[in-house]
Amino acid sequence: MNNVRFATSLHILTLLALNEGVYLSSDFIAGSVNVNAAAIRKEISNLKLCMLVESKEGKGGGSILARPASQIKLSDVYDAVKQVHVLGRSNTPNPDCPVGKEVNRHLEALYEDTDDYVRQKLTTVTLKDFVQKFG
Amino acid sequence: MNNVRFATSLHILTLLALNEGVYLSSDFIAGSVNVNAAAIRKEISNLKLCMLVESKEGKGGGSILARPASQIKLSDVYDAVKQVHVLGRSNTPNPDCPVGKEVNRHLEALYEDTDDYVRQKLTTVTLKDFVQKFG
DNA sequence: TGTACTGTATAAATTTTGATTACAGAATGA
DNA sequence: TCATTCTGTAATCAAAATTTATACAGTACA
């Protein structure tokens, strides 16, 4: 998870939450996040798949939250961008070694427990909670 | 944290724990993990800095645990390999935007809370606990 | 119909990560 | 002393992941 996807998605959602009901363009969002608008549109495309935002095409179009910020949890953002385990990846150890043969089974179990733990933690914070920190 | 360092370090420590008191060579370990011996030595070099293993140079040399497996926690492994936040990196947002200006402060706080949470969880599992899963 | 958007593909550039090679230096023991 | 077997570390290269940039078709609006 050595990327900026969580940061980008949360930034997008924060902007939308602070402008609830207003359609924000990818150009506007890109200006705040300071990345290319196409990258924003790609991330928004994913957030749409996850039912977190809705978009309107054409002139005057843009994106809004799919539901109130109080009903979006940070675990939803985590789920939206999750690609790998928070503790990293496994090796491809030697199956002819007694340890190598079963280490990945135990390691993956630990990885998944840890992911679940993080996810659980993030269910306790809503987007509204996060946005309220902004002055 | 999109790398195999946690996996590699834990694999190394597992081998050492299962052979407590015996000096294992980097070649032997590399054979089990299935990576180059130099990579293992590099990872061991880091584990030494973290006081988790000790090495002996020269013929008959190798590495052993610096203390019993019951006194090594998985959070020690986490600390040893930690480079980035578990949820990823931040962007470099636009400081001229009200949101861009302060998003990283809140985001980093969340990142650090989450890291601490994971770390805390991993303090509850010792290397001995992990190794006991092996049949 | 012109303008302002989204959606998406593709390519290029950059950064991160991993693999490999090489070799100096340390310890051992014949 | 000397050959052997290790560690420690640097340097390089290859591969993979990530980010950036460009382009353009399609949609909606006025």
**Residue B25 has what DSSP assignment?**
P
Minimum-distance CB partner of B89 among A3, A88, A125:
A3
Nearest CA to B77 out of B13, B3, B4, B1 is that of: B13
Give the structural domain span for B87: 5-131
Q: Over the stretch A88-124, which tens digit does the pLDDT of each residue have?
A: 999 999 999 999 999 999 999 999 999 999 999 999 9
Please indicate whether, in this complex, the C-beta atoms of B99 and A15 are within 8 angstroms of each other: yes
- Measured over the CA atoms of residue B29, residue B35, residue B38 and residue B44, the dihedral's sign is negative
Distance to chain A for B107, nearest Cα, Å:
7
Residues of A in contact with B102 (CB under 8 A): 134-135
Closest residue, by C-alpha, to the C1' of C28? B59
Q: Over the stretch B44-57, which tens digit does the pLDDT of each residue have?
A: 999 999 999 999 99
**Domain count for chain B:** 1
Nearest CA to A131 out of A79, A89, A81, A73 is that of: A73
State the pLDDT at residue A1.
Answer: 74
Residue percentage of chain B with pLDDT more than 90: 97
**Residue B71 has what DSSP assignment?**
G
Task: Indicate the residue type of A8.
Answer: T
The CATH number of whichever domain residue A47 belongs to comes to 1.10.10.10
Instruction: Considering all nucleic acid strands, name the nucleotide whose C1' atom is nearest to the C-alpha of residue A63.
Output: C6
Q: Over the stretch B10-46, which tens digit does the pLDDT of each residue have?
A: 999 999 999 999 999 999 999 999 999 999 999 999 9
CA of B2 to C1' of D3 (A): 43
Which residue's entry shows tokens 């089990």?
B32
Tokens for B98, please give them. Answer: 């009200």
Question: Apex CA A113: angle with CA A1 and CA B106, to 5°?
Answer: 45
Please indicate whether, in this complex, the C-beta atoms of B91 and A7 are within 8 angstroms of each other: yes
Please indicate whether, in this complex, the C-beta atoms of A33 and B100 are within 8 angstroms of each other: yes
Which residues fall within 8 angstroms of residue B70, CB to CB, at 6 or more apart?
Answer: B126, B127, B128
Residue A45 approaches strand C within 7 Å at CB: yes
- Cα dihedral B79, B80, B84, B85, rounded to 10, equals -20
Instruction: Considering all nucleic acid strands, name the nucleotide whose C1' atom is nearest to the C-alpha of residue A24.
Output: C5
Closest residue, by C-alpha, to the C1' of D30? A59
Closest residue, by C-alpha, to the C1' of D19? A39
Distance, CA of A103 to CA of B7 (rounded, Å): 9
Please indicate whether, in this complex, the C-beta atoms of A130 and B110 are within 8 angstroms of each other: yes
Tokens for A61, please give them. Answer: 């179009």
State the pLDDT at residue A2.
Answer: 87
Which residue's entry shows tokens 């190598």?
A100
Task: Please write down the long-range contacts of B49-58, taking CB distance under 8 Å and 24 or more positions apart.
Answer: B50/B76, B50/B79, B50/B80, B52/B13, B52/B76, B52/B77, B52/B80, B53/B12, B53/B13, B53/B16, B56/B23
Distance, CA of B24 to CA of B20 (rounded, Å): 10
Rounded to the nearest 10 degrees, the angle between the axes of helix B5-18 and helix B74-81 is 140
